Amino acid sequence: MRISEAAARSGLSADTIRYYERSAVLPPLPRGADGHRDVPARMVELMTLLHLLRETGMPMADLRRFTGLFRQGDATVAARRALLEAHGARLKARRAALDRCEVLLARKMEVYDQIEGRGRAERSGP
């Protein structure tokens, strides 16, 4: 399939796909007779995973290692598992940050309510 379709399906942008290929996060993609990339359907699955991993904070270097391992087949499953488990920890940390932020926003909203309340109904009764 064309790069644009792979982009649409995986969630990566076409630019990002090309960038990933350049920087060895993706393997060299096969080309059609016209020199255009002809993305194998099976690649889209990997791209989607990469998209999700990056979106949630896995660094490029780890993506690179991951796809490298992936290309070497089942013998590397243990190493891949380790990478993904490490990422699990990152997810946890991110969730914690989201939680903290949400709590703080809620508190801020209360403060704002009070300020605006005072503004609208100054010295309102108890």
Partner DNA sequence: CGCTTGACTTGGAGCGGCTCCAACCCGGTA
Partner DNA sequence: TACCGGGTTGGAGCCGCTCCAAGTCAAGCG
Interface with DNA by CB under 7 A: which residues? 2-5, 13-16, 18-19, 31, 33-37, 54, 59-61
Among all chains, which residue has been given the structure tokens 């690179």? 64
Chosen from a copy of itself, DNA, none, partner binding at 41 (C-beta under 5 to 8 Å by type) = none
Chosen from a copy of itself, DNA, none, partner binding at 83 (C-beta under 5 to 8 Å by type) = none
Chosen from DNA, a copy of itself, none, partner binding at 53 (C-beta under 5 to 8 Å by type) = a copy of itself
Q: Binding pattern to a copy of itself, positions 63-102, x when CB under 8 A?
A: -----------x--xx-xx--x--xx--x--xx-xx-xxx
- Residue closer to DNA, measured from CB, 38 or 80: 38
Q: How many helices (H) and strands (E) does the chain have?
A: 5, 0
- Report in angstroms the alpha-carbon separations of 56 from 13, 40, 53, 64, 124: 16, 25, 5, 16, 47
> What is d(CA 113, CA 7) in angstroms, rounded to the nearest whole number?
44
Q: DSSP letter at 34? A: T
